[in-house]
Amino acid sequence: MTTPLLEVSDLRTWFPSGKSEVKAVDGVSFSLAPGEVLGLVGESGSGKSITGFSIIGLIDEPGRIVEGSIKLEGRELIGLSPHELRAIRGKTISMVFQDPMMTLNPVLSIGTQIKLALEAHETISSADARERAIKALAQVRIAEPERKVDFFPHQFSGGMRQRVAIAIALLHRPKLIICDEPTTALDVSIQAEILAEMKDLVAELGTALIWISHDLATVSSIADRVAVMRFGKVVEIGPALGVLTKPQHDYTKALLDALPSRAKPGELLLRGSGIADAAPPPRKAATSDLPPLGSPYLVIDAAVKRFEKPAGLFRNLAIRSGIAQPRPVVQAVDGVSITLKRGEVLGLVGESGSGKSTLGRMAAGITVPTSGTIRLAGKPVMSGGRSPHKVTTRVQTIFQDPFASLNSRMRVGDIVAEGPLAHKLVSRAESAEYVARWLSAVGLDPSFANRFPHQFSGGQRQRIAIARALAMQPDVIVCDEPVASLDVSIQAQIINLLIRLRSELDLSLIFISHDLSVVRHLCDRVAIMYQGRIVEEGGAATIYDNPQHDYTKRLLAAVPVLPTAA
Amino acid sequence: MLGFILQRLWQAAIVVLAMSALVFCGVYAVGNPIDVLISPDATQDIRAAVIAQYGLDLPLWQQYFGFLGRVFDGDFGRSFVYNMPVSELILSRLPATLELTLAAVLFASLVGIPIGMYAGYRPNSPVSRAIMALSILGFSVPTFWFGLMLIMLFAVQCGCMPAGGRGDTVSLFGVDFSFLTTDGLSHIILPALNLALFKFSLMIRLARAGTRELMLSDTVKFARAAGISEFTILSRHVLRLISIPLVTVFGLELGSTLAFAVVTETIFSWPGLGKLIIDSITSLDRPVMVAYLMLVAMLFIVINLVVDLTYALLDPRLRKGRA
């Protein structure tokens, strides 16, 4: 057996917090052969990222490595001086981060940033640095590198920026690259491209890789070996195929069971089903004029949304006299007609910029369509006139980010009660009781009503957001990526909650997501959006098993698939 | 970009016009300069002749439009007190204020920003804590008191610095400057220090806050992961990223100091614009006041324009929208 490139043994990285210590990494051991790809999987807080940062010696104060050893080609890294560590960083070990929007400096050109990274480890003339930068960009398959080298990060898309970050990480031919969720912020098709390129590059250059991710399917498509982490410990490590098809540890099994892609569509997912939820409160009698289940309910007809900046006086003059070009108009939604039947779950799938969220906002009466109509049971969702506003409470929305969508200065009870009180669905005297029932309906302790949102985890906050939407007694809920920012096990709980509430309350859902497996699991019908239009629409099973449109086929092919036990 | 500058100039013209009307009416309401100008025992005939000579017998609107017409010809009128063209008077005082203000603001920025960045880079070190305590002191100490203390200490006790005045000046391009002679330089140090104190503290705090936040950002982490040295990270990455708020404050402070360095100029008897405006207010020298306040408005507009153009230079994301 060859000597390992990296040997981590009994690594413990702790963060003091008050009087106690948070044991972020608590006894992690593994080794990595040259050129090997190790997947490091776990949910948030499992210590996978901190493990990566410990190896490269970038633990933020006041965290510290309390014990253990990290040996790179037999040389102990723990205890090295900052100067010696800096000589290794970027040269022998480099790192790629999650969000390419945040990692590159927005005010420096790509060429300058590459030059700075080159100068960190060698003296190089400006002309040579430029040439190396162009070569580095060409290596990560950026078209026209001679021109692109002078671009600034904001002129690149997310995928391109991540390629630039990878190019910088590869500059000095490191022996090890640590990738911390490098494709999580990207669209599936971009993710598939980056994964494929990364695989090729690693094979070509013989670089070892530690691929940190929460997504088992992505990891399975690139890693030779997989380590599953929980509570700062590695619970299971082994060849990728073995760990993912024949998991030994209960936690690995539970993680796999929580994935919607592994369950039958529409069934409750195994994880998170253990919570006993109370029955939702009775609905108002006023909603008895509902059409029967299965009949057309929310009808979107030829909806168009254009975003344009109004031009000022001088610009108008300049445009008329032909000096300036009119500002580009963004056609976010370009003539979409779709019907949501009552009691149905409609999935709206597309990549970023496809217009799915804008369509959802128009359906929910938040954004005014430029043209076209949106009607709920024959009545318009928004009033007419110069400044239209929403006129129905029957459509409610759940937003993606439960950290941003809840007012952090209001108590949970007030957040949930605000809408129903404003629309006189309950009296002030009844509201506490009303809120308590809805909180228990979404699986939260009713006593939480007196707390503030920051005291809750992401999954709990999303439950609060769901309770807030449901308390308005809607018939239609527009869910805009409601599980995108959650861990798989929490995601499973929220999906289960939505499945259950939908059947108990006869809700109709518009479920907006980029995650094809979640949509497959939850939705009856799916519409695929691309560049503001719906390119394909149909029953979920039909679309997934027999896609017609090229874009749909490409999208489905890009989704990483977990290996299944033979 | 051209359209943007045109638009700003158009806005500037409107602001200056509004300013002139406001100031003209305001000053008209303050009092009649004739009472100050001629001795109380002058005859009624002389009094009437002087009033007619300055056009003070006309109704306000006629005086205003007459003034506006002359301004378009470049004539701001004559000072009642100094009996010389106002434009000449202001131009003769401007260099003194300009060099004092620039010395103060540049000192505050060139010394304050690096110190602030250090304090943000090592927020918990004793040195940083001392810097922050000093900056709070700089905020809270009144300018006049600090100026008096400087004079007490350096001029009265040590005798190593002059207490006031401009010292020897050297003519450069037909304008007199102090900072080119050693005597002039020794005269400028104390007032510049006094004027710089507040800005200095402000720059420290801004630079520290920006640096402290950025040191935790992914941009800095990524640069560190590439093995870039801490000094390069601070000088090439962080400084560029925190420069936008710094430039904003630099511009605002430059403008307000140029216009309102009154206290310092009075304490150190610095013959600048601040002293001129105080003198003209006490003697109701109306043309000087009007011209001065219009100049101040112009100054702020120009500085703001330059600051906005600097933004585009500093941040490529802002170039796109205006190109």
Give the number of beta-carbon pairs within 8 Å between A and B. 99
Domain boundary among A145, A171, A197: A171
Domain residues for the domain of A119 are 103-171
A439, A465 in Cβ contact below 8 A?
no
Q: Which of B124, B221, B235 to mutate to test the interface with A (most CBs of A within 10 A)?
A: B221
Whether residues B236 and A116 touch (CB distance < 8 A) is answered with yes
Smallest Cβ–Cβ distance between B226 and the set A60, A168, A324 belongs to A168
Q: Which of B227, B158, B233 is nearest to B189 (CA)?
A: B158
Write down the pLDDT at residue A346: 92
Q: Is B46 on the interface with A (CB under 8 A)?
A: no
Task: Work out how many domains chain A is built from and give that number.
Answer: 2
Average pLDDT, stretch A260-272? 71
Structure tokens at B260: 């309102």
Asked if the structure places residue B124 within a domain, the reply is yes
Question: What is d(CA B245, CA B113) in angstroms, rounded to the nearest whole number?
Answer: 12
Asked if the structure places residue A537 within a domain, the reply is yes
Residues A407 and A539 reside in one and the same domain: yes
| % of chain A exceeding 70 in pLDDT | 92
Residues A290 and A166 reside in one and the same domain: no
Q: Is B14 on the interface with A (CB under 8 A)?
A: no
Write down the pLDDT at residue A315: 64
Asked if the structure places residue A526 within a domain, the reply is yes
A512, A478 in Cβ contact below 8 A?
yes
- Between these two residues, A283 and A175, which has the higher pLDDT value? A175
Write down the pLDDT at residue B323: 37
Q: pLDDT digit string (tens) for A223-252?
A: 999 999 988 889 999 998 888 888 888 888
A129 band by pLDDT with thresholds 50, 70 and 90: very high
Question: What is d(CA A234, CA A241) in angstroms, rounded to the nearest whole number?
Answer: 17
Residues of chain A contacting B217 with CB distance shorter than 8 Å: 102
Asked if the structure places residue B8 within a domain, the reply is no
- Give residues 238 to 277 of B whose Cβ lies within 8 Å of A: 240-241
Q: Is a pLDDT exceeding 80 seen at residue A270?
A: no
A225, A239 in Cβ contact below 8 A?
yes
Instruction: State the nearest Cα–Cα gap between A100 and chain B, in angstroms.
Output: 9
Domain residues for the domain of B203 are 86-322
Sequence-distant (≥ 6) Cβ neighbours of residue A89 within 8 angstroms: A56, A57, A58, A95, B224, B225, B226, B227
Q: Which of B219, B229, B232 to mutate to test the interface with A (most CBs of A within 10 A)?
A: B219
Q: What does DSSP say about strands A37-41 and A208-213: parallel, antiparallel, or unpaired?
A: parallel
Sequence-distant (≥ 6) Cβ neighbours of residue B133 within 8 angstroms: none
Q: What is the mean pLDDT of each run of 10 residues along chain B (323 residues)?
A: 75 83 79 70 78 76 82 78 83 85 90 93 91 90 88 84 76 71 82 90 92 89 90 91 88 84 84 83 81 84 85 77 42
Whether residues A108 and B224 touch (CB distance < 8 A) is answered with no
Write down the pLDDT at residue A273: 43
A507, A426 in Cβ contact below 8 A?
no
Q: Which of B149, B140, B91 is nearest to B272 (CA)?
A: B91
Q: pLDDT digit string (tens) for A149-197?
A: 998 888 888 888 888 999 999 999 899 999 998 888 788 888 888 888 8
Give the Cα-Cα-Cα angle A436, A440, A446 (nearest 5 degrees): 45
Report chain A's C-alpha Rg in angstroms. Answer: 26
Q: Which of A99, A102, A100, A83 is nearest to A91 (CA)?
A: A83
ipTM value, please give it. Answer: 0.76
- Type of residue found at A359: L
Sequence-distant (≥ 6) Cβ neighbours of residue B61 within 8 angstroms: none
Sequence-distant (≥ 6) Cβ neighbours of residue B55 within 8 angstroms: B63, B66
Question: What is d(CA A462, CA B173) in angstroms, rounded to the nearest whole number?
Answer: 70
Residues of chain B contacting A107 with CB distance shorter than 8 Å: 240-241, 314-317
Q: pLDDT digit string (tens) for A72-102?
A: 988 888 888 888 999 999 899 999 988 888 8
Q: Which of A44, A7, A57 is nearest to A28 (CA)?
A: A7
Structure tokens at B65: 């439009």
Nearest chain B residue (CA) to A328 = B321
Asked if the structure places residue B196 within a domain, the reply is yes
Residue for token digits 């999935």? A347
Smallest Cβ–Cβ distance between B227 and the set A90, A106, A312 belongs to A90
Smallest Cβ–Cβ distance between A94 and the set B218, B225, B232 belongs to B225
Q: Exposed/middle/buried for B65, CB within 10 Å: 0-12, 13-18, 19+?
A: exposed
Nearest chain B residue (CA) to A151 = B316
Write down the pLDDT at residue A276: 47
Asked if the structure places residue A400 within a domain, the reply is yes
Instruction: Classify residue A287 by its DSSP letter.
Output: G
Asked if the structure places residue B51 within a domain, the reply is no
Sheet holding A371-376, edge to edge: A330-341, A296-307, A371-376, A379-380
Write down the pLDDT at residue A347: 92
Q: Which helix (H) or strand (E) holds B112?
A: helix B86-121
Write down the pLDDT at residue A321: 63
Partners of A225 in beta bridges: A38, A239
Asked if the structure places residue A552 within a domain, the reply is yes
Whether residues B227 and A120 touch (CB distance < 8 A) is answered with yes
Whether residues A314 and B7 touch (CB distance < 8 A) is answered with yes
A10: helix, coil or strand? strand
Question: What is d(CA A564, CA A290) in angstroms, rounded to the nearest whole number?
Answer: 44
Question: What is d(CA A72, CA A87) in angstroms, rounded to the nearest whole number?
Answer: 13
Backbone angles phi, psi at B178, to 5 degrees: -90, -35
Own/partner pairs, A265-269, CB within 8 angstroms, 24+ separation: A265/A520, A265/A521, A265/A522, A265/A540, A265/A541, A266/A499, A266/A521, A266/A522, A268/A496, A268/A499, A268/A500, A269/A492, A269/A495, A269/A496, A269/A521
Asked if the structure places residue A299 within a domain, the reply is no
Backbone angles phi, psi at A492, to 5 degrees: -60, -40
Residue for token digits 């007619």? B52
Write down the pLDDT at residue A274: 45
Q: pLDDT digit string (tens) for A285-343?
A: 445 567 777 788 888 888 888 887 666 666 666 666 666 666 667 788 888 899 998 88
Instruction: State the nearest Cα–Cα gap between A429 and chain B, in angstroms.
Output: 46
A235: helix, coil or strand? strand
Q: Is B73 on the interface with A (CB under 8 A)?
A: no
| % of chain A exceeding 90 in pLDDT | 20
Asked if the structure places residue A199 within a domain, the reply is no
CATH code: domain of residue B291: 1.10.3720.10
Asked if the structure places residue B185 within a domain, the reply is yes
Write down the pLDDT at residue A468: 92
Asked if the structure places residue A192 within a domain, the reply is no
Question: What is d(CA B244, CA B113) in angstroms, rounded to the nearest whole number?
Answer: 13
Question: What is d(CA B149, CA A317) in angstroms, rounded to the nearest whole number?
Answer: 59
Asked if the structure places residue B297 within a domain, the reply is yes
B248, B310 in Cβ contact below 8 A?
no
Question: What is d(CA B157, CA B159) in angstroms, rounded to the nearest whole number?
Answer: 6
Give the Cα-Cα-Cα angle A83, A89, A95 (nearest 5 degrees): 150
Residues of chain A contacting B9 with CB distance shorter than 8 Å: none
The end-to-end CA distance of chain A, in Å, is 29
Residues A350 and A497 reside in one and the same domain: yes
Residues of chain A contacting B314 with CB distance shorter than 8 Å: 107
Instruction: State the nearest Cα–Cα gap between A116 and chain B, in angstroms.
Output: 7
Q: Which of A221, A222, A200 is nearest to A210 (CA)?
A: A222
Task: Work out how many domains chain B is built from and give that number.
Answer: 1
Give the torsion sign (CA, A166, A167, A172, A175). positive
Give the Cα-Cα-Cα angle A118, A124, A127 (nearest 5 degrees): 100
Q: Which of A455, A427, A301 is nearest to A371 (CA)?
A: A301
Q: pLDDT digit string (tens) for A401-454?
A: 888 888 888 999 999 999 999 988 888 888 999 999 888 888 888 888 888 888
Whether residues A120 and B226 touch (CB distance < 8 A) is answered with yes
Asked if the structure places residue A20 within a domain, the reply is no
Smallest Cβ–Cβ distance between A56 and the set B216, B225, B315 belongs to B225
CATH code: domain of residue A356: 3.40.50.300
Q: pLDDT digit string (tens) for A338-350?
A: 999 888 999 999 8
Q: Which of A27, A69, A53 is nearest to A181 (CA)?
A: A53
Give the Cα-Cα-Cα angle B172, B174, B176 (nearest 5 degrees): 60
Whether residues A86 and B227 touch (CB distance < 8 A) is answered with yes
Domain boundary among A122, A156, A171: A171
Asked if the structure places residue B152 within a domain, the reply is yes
Residues of chain A contacting B317 with CB distance shorter than 8 Å: 106-107, 152, 154
Residues of chain B contacting A106 with CB distance shorter than 8 Å: 241, 315-317
